[in-house]
Amino acid sequence: MRRAALFLLLACACAGSGRRYPCDPTAGDCGQVVNPDGGPDQTAFVSAPFMVFHDGAHNTATDAIPFAGALFAAFRNASAWSGDANAQVFILRSDDKGRTWSKTAALGVPGRDPRQPKLFLFGGKLWLIATFWDTSDPTAHKTTLRVSETEDGSTWTPFAPLANRDGLAAWRPRTFGNQLFFSVWGADELFPPSAPTAFALVSTTDAIVSGVAAPAPPVGPGAREGELIVRATGEHWLAAPERTVGSSLAKQTFCRAPAGALDWSCWSVTGLPIESPAMFEWKGVLYVAGKRDTGNGFKRTSLWQVLEDDHDLSPVKDIDASFGDTGGPAVVQLDQDRALLTFHTTSKLDPRVAALGHEPTEVEAQSKDYASDILAVELYMPSAAAGH
């Protein structure tokens, strides 16, 4: 069975509306699909990148969602990768499908650092959830989960803490029927605990601040960042990277449950935990975007196809514009063939980065607090490289 951990050594097949042919997703030769009439489709799978936000600060961990006829994006804006008591979540709006953006809000809590902000729809409103670290002593894992809401995308309520969720981190909420679900786990982004922490699902049918425990999938104790979606078939899917501190037993786990029930069954790909996963579906094919380790301390924002029958992952594409400290992707469907992928990356506009003469590793970029930008690319899905 192929192992996506050997990303640079693998080939895949480009699947479009016609026949497939071998290509190397890391060499940039995927995306020219041979149509049934024999004419090639020259549209590239990944567009040239365009800037979403740059201000010379540390902008990371994007999310994006359509609401009220526009696209909204959220990300952490701070002076550094490490704890920042003055960090905020910036909210941006685009009325041209992600090509240009304007800032509409800056939200925060004094003395708390918001990490991994996520947008979601619930009760006809746009919501924002984030994990807030107590910057007075981040090593104590004192976190709170807080939410804010808006009816128009411009005026947001102050962040309100979720009851009985202290010490936890949370991932992107999703609606299953009339219920909202999101995953939680012991906070570990800034300082991993000495032992793996428990993973759980939370659900609610009314007020987001009073969720209750939901049937959780049988994932390992190192599971985190549980990404949820509902397939076109009604199936529920969850992707969760698993890691054990100081161990090589890391893996990427996928779980599925039938429509109308949370009776989970799971399988894993060893050696390939996809950090900050964002799942999406296109014409029945399941994809996941996230951060991958290329080796030697370098990372890339990348995409994979989920091979459901083979219980495996097929590499699709590295986002070439991703650089240094990168990741935190979000994917929004623009039309039947195009999707928008947002992500953060170390800023090549930072004079200190330009003076290096080489790409910084993730650790170097974070320790030096180089500026990072929010970028976006369009994905033309008919040109996507796919294994099946």
Domain ranges of the chain: 51-383
Count how many Cα atoms sit within 13 Å of the Cα of residue 88 in the half-sphere of its side chain.
Answer: 12
Q: Which two tokens stand for residue 255?
A: 């779980």
CB distance 227 to 240 below 8 Å: yes
Tell me which H or E stretch contains 116: strand 112-122
Alpha carbon distance 139, 193 (integer Å): 9
Computed from CA positions of residues 363, 367, 371, 372, in that sequence, does the dihedral angle turn out positive or negative?
A: positive
State residue 246's pLDDT score.
Answer: 55
Q: What is the pLDDT along the chain (388 residues), one digit of tens a residue?
A: 444 433 433 333 333 332 333 344 444 444 444 444 445 557 999 999 999 999 999 999 999 999 999 999 999 999 999 999 999 999 999 999 999 999 999 999 999 999 999 999 999 999 999 999 999 998 888 999 999 999 999 999 999 999 889 999 999 999 988 899 999 999 988 888 777 788 999 998 877 777 789 998 999 888 999 999 999 999 999 999 998 655 667 899 999 999 988 999 999 999 889 999 999 999 999 999 999 999 889 999 999 999 999 999 999 999 999 999 999 999 999 999 999 999 999 999 999 999 999 999 999 999 999 999 999 999 999 999 765 5
State residue 155's pLDDT score.
Answer: 96
Q: Which two tokens stand for residue 357?
A: 């003469």
State residue 386's pLDDT score.
Answer: 65
CB distance 104 to 93 below 8 Å: yes
State residue 245's pLDDT score.
Answer: 56
Q: Rg for the chain (alpha carbons), in Å?
A: 20
CATH code for the structural domain at 51-383: 2.120.10.10
State residue 41's pLDDT score.
Answer: 57
pTM confidence score: 0.88
CB distance 140 to 131 below 8 Å: no
Kindly state the DSSP code that residue 271 receives in the 8-state scheme: T
Per the DSSP assignment, residues forming a β-bridge with 342 are: 330, 376
The CA-based angle 386-327-239, given to 5 degrees, is 60
Question: Which SS3 state, helix, strand or coil, does residue 57 take?
Answer: coil
